[in-house]
Amino acid sequence: MEPVLIIACGALARELKAVIAANGWQHVQLHCLPADLHNRPDRIPEAVREQIRASRLRFARILVGYADCGTGGLLDRVLEEEGIERLPGAHCYEFYAGMAAFNALADAEPGSFYLTDFLVRHFERLVIRELGIERHPELASQYFGNYRRLVYLAQSEDAQLLEQARDAARRLDLEFHHQFTGYGDLEGAVVRFHRQPGRDARREQDSWQS
C-alpha cells in the first residue's frame, strides 16, 4: 500500500500509535510535533505547514492530527492552501467526548477546565511549570479563578491517572468530574481518512471520468 503520514500533536501520540497498531497499518507513519505548541497556538499553523512541505514527496497522503486547537481558523487556512485534511472539531476534548456530549458538558458548566490522559500525565510540566505556578503559587487563582470544575475526559481506565486528575482538581481548588470517553471520534476519523482513495486511485478515477 502507498505510504501515508499523520502529522499530529504530541498530545495524541499514544492514542494514534494504538489506532495504527490495532489496525495493522504498517504503511502509516506518525510524526508528532511538540505538545508544548498548545501554549503558543499561533505557532501551530506554520509548524504544520513546514512539516507538510518537508514530507509531501515521500507520502501518497497526509492527514493532520490536530483540531483547530486555538488557532482561530489559521490552521484551516494553511491546510486549505496545502490541500490537506485535519481531524474534525475545535479541540481534542470535542472529538474524544463527541460533539454532543462535549456540548452538554460545556452547557452544564461553562467554567470547566478539561484534562485528557496526556494532560494528566504532564500536568506538572504543562500547567504548573509552564504557567509559572510552581514559582508563583498565587498565579493559580488568577488563571483559574473563573473556573468552577475540572473535567477529566479519560481515554483509559487507569486508577493512577484518575487519582492524579483528582489531585490536579484539588490543587486548583476546583470541583472534580470524571468521564470515560475512550478514543471517542478519534479512531473513526482516522479510519475514515484511511479508507479514502490514495494518489494512484485518484489518478485512475480522474482518467476514467475524463
Question: Sheet harboring 61-65: ordered strands across?
Answer: 28-33, 4-9, 61-65, 85-86
Query: What would the pLDDT profile of 19-28 be if each residue is shown by its tens digit?
Result: 999 999 999 9
How open is the CA angle 126-130-132, to the nearest 5 degrees? Answer: 135
Tell me the residue range of the domain where 32 lies. Answer: 4-91+185-209
Domain identity same for 27 and 73: yes
Cα–Cα distances in Å, from 68 out to 86, 126, 130, 141, 194? 9, 19, 21, 27, 21
Domain identity same for 72 and 176: no
Domain identity same for 86 and 137: no
Write the CATH number for 39.
Answer: 3.40.50
Domain identity same for 125 and 147: yes
Domain identity same for 73 and 142: no
- pLDDT bracket for residue 204 (50, 70, 90): very low
- Residue 12 and residue 186 in contact, taking contact as beta carbons nearer than 8 Å: yes
Q: Total domain count for the chain?
A: 2
DSSP state of 90: S
Element housing 95 (H / E): helix 92-97
- pLDDT bracket for residue 197 (50, 70, 90): low
Distance from CA of residue 39 to its chain's centroid?
13
Q: Record the pTM.
A: 0.84
R_g over Cα of the chain: 19
User: Over 60: is that where the pLDDT of 203 sits?
Assistant: no
- Written as nine digits, the cell of 170 is 484539588
Domain identity same for 80 and 141: no
Find the mean pLDDT for residues 95-104: 92
Question: Sheet harboring 149-154: ordered strands across?
Answer: 112-115, 149-154, 175-180
- Written as nine digits, the cell of 191 is 479510519
Domain identity same for 149 and 205: no
Query: What would the pLDDT profile of 64-82 be if each residue is shown by its tens digit?
Result: 999 999 999 999 999 999 9
Domain identity same for 80 and 36: yes
Domain identity same for 62 and 29: yes
